[in-house]
Amino acid sequence: MLKILHADDPPHHLALGIAIGMFVTFLPLIGIQMAVSFFLAWILGANKLVGVPLVWISNPFTVVPIYYPCYWLGCKLLGGGDVGVEWEQLRGHWHTINTNPTSTWGDRAQFWWNGFFDFAGPLGLGCLIVGLTFGIVSYYVSLLAIRRYRMNRWGQLMPPAHTLAPPVLGADSDSTHSGGHAA
């Protein structure tokens, strides 16, 4: 956290990088989320590194707690029925395909293909809405926190320059480079 607060970037760039990371966290793109976060930060001029660790929030252990509520929201917004009933129907259809001795691999592929599109719409919409919401909120919260921290710490929004010695007042830059002799 301190590395973010002390980064040599304006607060807006840092906050935008955090917002992009939070937005991408909720996109169902596990496996390419870091690349998507980095690319969006590059396109939007945000800090490219602060958002990347945030996408690690979504991982194989957090898939269900993150994406099921997104799917549920998408179903509700698209006017879908009860999510639990739909899952039971899906499970029953899959069981029928697997227990039918005349079903082929093509039947299974068709089931997954159709199921994917039935599932992708609500999941995509829910993830987009939740991701945008978390992204916007995290932008303003982090912008406020970074600004407040920096103003309290340094009295300015950018970190102070790290110099070895303070500049000498009244020293001419040409005279210091030419051995002290004026040309």
pLDDT tens-digit map of 19-52: 999 999 999 998 899 999 999 999 999 999 998 8
- Per-residue pLDDT tens for 52-90? 899 999 888 998 899 999 999 999 999 876 666 666 777
How confident is the prediction for the chain on average, in pLDDT?
81
Nearest to 124 by CA among 64, 78, 160, 156: 78
| pLDDT grade for 112, boundaries at 50, 70 and 90 | confident
- Give the domain range for residue 118: 2-158
Would residue 37 count as lying in a domain? Answer: yes
Low-confidence winner among 50-59, 65-74, 92-101, 155-164 (lowest mean pLDDT): 155-164
Start-to-end C-alpha separation, the chain? 50
Q: What is the pLDDT of residue 183?
A: 44
Would residue 165 count as lying in a domain? Answer: no
- Count of structural domains within the chain: 1
Would residue 49 count as lying in a domain? Answer: yes
Q: What is the pLDDT of residue 83?
A: 66
Q: At what angle do helices 83-99 and 63-77 cross, to 10 degrees?
A: 110
Q: At what angle do helices 105-154 and 11-25 cross, to 10 degrees?
A: 160
| pLDDT grade for 133, boundaries at 50, 70 and 90 | very high
Would residue 170 count as lying in a domain? Answer: no
Would residue 15 count as lying in a domain? Answer: yes
| pLDDT grade for 124, boundaries at 50, 70 and 90 | very high
Is-contact 57 18, C-beta < 8 A? no
Residue 79 φ/ψ, nearest 5 degrees? 80, 25
Would residue 88 count as lying in a domain? Answer: yes
3-state helix, strand, coil in the chain (%, to 5): 65, 0, 35
Would residue 176 count as lying in a domain? Answer: no
